[in-house]
Structure 1
Amino acid sequence: MKRIKIYLYIGIMSFCTSCSDFLDKVPDERTQIDSPDKVSALLVNAYPKVSYAAIVNTRCDYITDFGSVYSGAQPGALFSFMGENFLWKDVIEDGNDSFENFWTGCYAAIAVSNQALISIDELGTPSSTINQKGEALMTRAFSHFCLASLFAQQYDESTASLYPGIPYVEKPETQPVEQYDRETVADTYRKITQDFEDSYPLMTDGSIYTAPKYHFNKKSAAAFGTRLYLLMKQYDKVLEYANQLISIPSQFETLTDSKGEPLKNQDGTPQQYISKDDPAFSFVSNNFHPFATTYMDASGYIEMRSYFCSSSTNANLLITEALSSIAWGELPFYSRYGLSSTDIGKTINA
């Protein structure tokens, strides 16, 4: 009997030890962000991996109704969301190029930004995480700005307090279902600008990153600030951040035709463009104008697309990955609604 009690005691102790080991484990599969390096790795996912290009551009003036599927093997129904957008109907499709996907993609990025901020606080905000804190705040502001641009009324100071904004999420979710208030457009933009202003002084030139253009840096943040305050019509702020991004051009060259003859404006003055030797040229060398573009050196359409997405292109200040069902250059071949050279030419030269 005594021996049985000893075995029973040993069994109970082993069971308790096993329970203790089980309870010591993290109850979910979330990675423990317990170092500055892990915070940096986390922030790679703080950028929305979605694009509004397809759903927004289809509603623009330069999209043409071809009357039927133009050509190609794929059925026009594959791009039914384009017709819905073109005709300003409710979009039913929920694929990569849908409003629903854009909504969830932005909030997924916001969740990463918030987790990074919490992790930095838990680390005691060491000096080695100052840049990461700036990036987390900047990405949170950027994702909310993208959402507000599509899902709320355009900002107008006189009416911003009358219209609902979007839920501004400032902490990680801890419950299966969280309830949020939309507040107002004024509240939304107040929080966006607060996050932006808090983060901008913490921005660097990007040299701390292995791939600088895949993270917010001083220039890309200034570009975002310029865009943000331009939408809000706060023009003093627009100038403040635009001047930090690009200097006023001072060197120009005259446009010429194929024979080398100077091109003239309607008033007889020569047509000019910013010289390649001017610092400001970096930010105009990525447009579609044949006289002021790096694309003029491209050997074909594929290489042109490579230039457009390249991190070596000076005008690309911030690059992110995004899933899309379509390639814009091929839209006319697969969809009833797409680009035409005539329409895009009118848009560029307007």
Structure 2
Amino acid sequence: MFGSRSYKFTLKNTSTISLHYSFKIMNASTGISDSGPFSISPRKGTIPAGTDEILVVKFSPEEIEKDFTRILTCRIPNLPPDVEPLQIKLGGVAERPVCHFELPPSTYREKKGKDMTPIDSKYSIIEFQSLGVKVKNTKRFMVVNPTSHSYDFEWEEVESEDPGKEVKKEKPMFRCLTLKGTILSGKKFEMVFEYTPDNVGEHESFWNFKIPVEDIVQPFMIVGHVVEPIVLFEAGKINFGPLLLGGKNKETINLINQEHLPFSFYFNKESVKENPDYGDSLIVSPLSGTIPPQSQIPIEVLFKPKYEMSYNYNLICNIKRKARPLALNIKGVGYTIQHSILADKQRIPVTASEPHKFDF
């Protein structure tokens, strides 16, 4: 029960014209149309001359029966009267499990197999995907009790059985909110797990689901993937170039959010000042805010140099859920206009404090 088995076979067209076909599944005892737990795909179609088609019969029992026997009949129009119809006898056996986990499909086992790190088939897999770090992700799924009696269950976190895998004692990223409970006969119980990552990467945790009265232990591997939110500046730097002291120049740069969720941000105020020698030569607005999903927000940067010198800022913008902040480099030069008076052919500097004699 609650599982499926598939069987493939080939239907070949050996004639010189196209072959049209359709399938019907009948009860072996009554002869009436009754597919029961069986299905076939495709159910009907056309096979060009000299080619074949692969068909798949699936057995998916949802209840226990003494006899699942069915007859699969293929109807092909315009067959000679003396040709018997194609028939296949179908059969199967189903067992009632003590419990059934209604888990979404996972491709993690296939992925690890391609990476040459296969996962033991005994593990059921629960996958999380977190958009950023330090955010709580919740996964819910149902466990079904198809038996005629109620039973207690419990979850237990265990260490990896891989002797080559280093186990670090860190703050747990995975947490079970339904560690114990009772599943009534014929009912479902909702299980809840949380995943709160604090660093970017892929994380694994191993758990056992136990039914003590039945002496049943089902191992689980819980996997978490952290994806960095795509929030970025449209450019990585601004160069104001030379600017006269007392003057000011303004540039606008967009902070872009390519995700489906809003993200808050704030600039590190110390990075706006950067160096005590710079004075208050740079103003950033806004210093904090929220970027709507699939949107952008303009950031105004005003440069008004206070001193005659070169300026080099590295603005730090922190984005909630991003493990690493964004950086924006800003350069500029403050200058003043220098003037002097030179006298005679010798080009002697003339100052206001000292008189100079001109010889005409």
TM-score by length of structure 1 reads: 0.19
- Bigger strand share: 2
- Bigger helix share: 1
Which of the pair has more CA radius of gyration?
Answer: 2
TM-score by length of structure 2 reads: 0.19
